[in-house]
Amino acid sequence: MSMPNIVMLILTIIMLLFVFVFGLLLDKPVIYMFIALFVHSTLLFIIRYFWQGKEFGEAFTHSYDFITITIVIIFTILKVQKAKSSE
H helix intervals, 1-87: 3-18, 31-46, 56-63, 66-86
Contact 28, 22 (CB under 8 A): yes
Whether 11 and 40 have beta carbons less than 8 Å apart is answered as yes
What pLDDT is stored for residue 79 in this prediction?
Answer: 80
Residue 80 has pLDDT above 80, yes or no: yes
pLDDT, one tens digit per residue, over 36-79 is 888 999 999 999 999 999 999 998 888 887 777 777 777 778 88
The count of domains in the chain is: 1
Q: pLDDT tens, 8-37?
A: 999 989 988 887 888 777 777 777 877 888
Report how far residue 67's alpha carbon sits from residue 86's, in angstroms, rounded to the nearest whole number.
28
Check: CB of residue 36 under 8 Å from CB of residue 19: yes
pTM: 0.71
Domain that holds residue 43: 3-86
